[in-house]
Homo-oligomer: A and B are copies of this chain.
Amino acid sequence: MSPVRSSLEPGFDRKFRAGVLGATGTVGQRLVQLLADHPWFELTEVAASERSSGKKYSDAVNWHLESPIPSAAANLVVKGLDPTLDCDFVFSALDSSVAGPAEEDFARAGYPVVSNSKNHRMSPDVPLLIPEVNAAHLEAIPVQRKNRGYGSGFIVTNPNCSTAGLVLVLKPLADAFGLEKMFVVTLQAVSGAGYPGVPSLDILGNVVPFISGEEEKMEAEPQKLLGRWDGSRFVEAGLGISAHCNRVPVENGHLECLSISLKKIATLREVREALRIAVLPTAVKNPVVVLEEENRPQPRRDVNAGNGMAAVVGRVRECPLLDIKLTLLSHNLLRGAAGAALLNAELLASRGFLTRSRIAASDPAAVPVIQVAE
C-alpha cells in the first residue's frame, strides 16, 4: 500500500479510529491486515454478523492470510452491526445480503461508510470511487447527505474486483485518445469468491465460464467510473462494453483480455506511453505497470506488482477488428477490494471528509462534540 502521505497529517496528534464491518470475511481480514501500522488509521472496532458477535476477534475469525493476525486486532471483541461503534468512520466488507440497510444505518448515524459491497455502487447519489480515476466524484457527497437526510455520515463505494484494475487501465486511454467500445474476457482467481467460496471439486483442473452477476457489473460500473458528476447526477461515459467472465484455478489475481476501439488514431507506442505516464489526480505512483515480455502479465508472477495496487499491462498489440489488444492483471483482494477501500479512505482523509470528533466511549475525559452536517 502506498498511502497518499506517509505520516500523521500536520497538526494532529492521533490517528483516525476505524471500524471494519464484516471483519471476519475474506475482504474484512485483508482490511484488518492492511490497517496494522497504517500511518493515519487505527483499527478500534471489528463488527460482524450475530454469529461472531461477542467473541474475541482471534477466536471468531478463520484467518486465511499468510501473516499472523495483527496483535492489536486479535484481542478486539467482535461487535454486532449496530451503529454504536467507537470509531470515526467504518469500512464495510459486508456480504451483499446484509450490506444495503446496514451501511445506510451507519451513514444515518453519522459515520462515513467506505464500502466494498455492491449494494450502493450504482445509486445515483453515491460515489463509485477510484482515487486515481474520479476523485472529483466526491462532490456528490453533499448532495447525498441532503437527499437522504444524513448528518456527518455518507457512503462511498469502490468497484467490483474485476472492474477496478480495468478502469485503472482505461482511464489514461480515455484521457489520451477517447474510448468508443471494448471487449473484455476475464480469467478470475478463486479468492474473488471469498471463503469457503469455490469448492475445489469445481475448479481443480477446470474452468467455470460463469460468475453470477459479474458480467453485468463489468458492463455497468466503468460507465459510472469514467463518467462525470454534473452537479446533481452522474453522467455515464457512453462506452460500449461486452464482458465474458470465467473462474480459473488461480489463487489471487484477475487476468483480463481486452480489445479496445479508440476515438483517436494512436500507434502502439503512443498507447504504451499513455499507460506508462498515467499522470493521475492523486499522488499514488505508477498505478499502471507496462511489461514488454511477450508472455506477461501472469497471475502468480505479477499479482503483487506495486504491492498489489498496480494494474499490470502486457501484450499491447494491434487488433484486427478494433484498434488495440492488451492483457491486464490486477490483484482482486488488494486493488480490487480491501486496498481499494483503504485508498478511498485515504482520499477522504486527505480531502477533509473524515473527522476525529466522535468520542471514544472508553475515554470519559473527552469533550463531547455535537455532530453537524456539513
Task: Give the B-binding residues of A (Cβ under 8 A).
Answer: 64, 66, 181, 183, 185, 187, 190-191, 195-210, 219, 240-242, 244, 246, 248-251, 255, 257, 259, 294-301, 304, 314-315, 319-322, 325, 327
Q: Which residues of B contact A202 (CB under 8 A)?
A: 196, 200
Shortest CB distance A159–B (Å): 18
- Contact check, B242 vs A320: say whether CB atoms are below 8 A apart: yes
Residues in chain B near residue A219, CB distance under 8 A: 320
> Quick one: which of B200, B201, B295, B321 contacts A242, CB cutoff 8 A?
B321
Query: What would 19 more interface pairs be, CB under 8 Å, given A197-B201, A242-B322?
Result: A66-B304, A183-B183, A185-B244, A187-B207, A196-B202, A199-B199, A205-B205, A205-B250, A209-B255, A209-B298, A210-B294, A210-B295, A219-B320, A240-B320, A241-B320, A242-B319, A244-B259, A248-B249, A249-B250
Within the complex, which residue of B196, B207, B244 is in contact with A298, where a contact is CB–CB below 8 Å?
Answer: B207
- Contact B197–A198 (Cβ < 8 Å): no
Known contacts A187-B248, A257-B246, A304-B66: A297-B209 contact under CB 8 Å? yes
User: Are B201 and A195 touching (Cβ within 8 A)?
Assistant: yes
Q: Are B250 and A207 closer than 8 Å at their CB atoms?
A: yes
Query: Could you tell me if B204 and A240 are in contact, using CB atoms closer than 8 angstroms?
Result: no
Q: Is the CB of A295 within 8 A of B185?
A: no
Identify A198's interface contact among B187, B200, B244, CB under 8 A: B200
Please judge, given known A-B contacts A206-B300, A208-B298, A209-B296, whether A190 and B201 are in contact too, CB under 8 Å. Answer: yes
Pick from B199, B259, B327: contact of A209, CB under 8 Å: B327
Residues of B within 8 Å of A257, CB to CB, are: 185, 209, 244, 246
User: Judging by beta carbons under 8 Å apart, are A204 and B314 in contact?
Assistant: no
Complex CA distance for A3 and B23, rounded to whole angstroms: 38
Cβ–Cβ contact B315 & A241, under 8 A: no
| A190 contact set on B, CB distance < 8 A | 200-201, 204
Q: Roughly how many angstroms separate A322 CA and B206 CA in the complex, as a whole number?
A: 28
Query: Which residues of chain B come closer than 8 Å to A187, judged between CB atoms?
Result: 187, 207, 246, 248
Residue contact A205 to B255, C-beta cutoff 8 Å: no
Chain B residues in 8 Å Cβ range of A249: 200, 204-205, 248-250
A298–B201 CA distance with the chains assembled, in angstroms:
12
Name which of A208, A241, A296 has the most chain B CB atoms within 10 A of its CB.
A208
The closest CB in chain B to the CB of A248 belongs to B248
Chain B nearest CB, measured from A29 CB (Å): 12
Closest to A325 in B: B244
Contacts of A248 in B (CB 8 A): 187, 207, 248-249
8 A-B pairs whose Cβ atoms sit less than 8 Å apart in the complex: A185-B244, A187-B246, A196-B202, A206-B299, A209-B257, A246-B255, A249-B250, A251-B300
Q: Does the CB pair B321–A241 fall under 8 Å?
A: yes
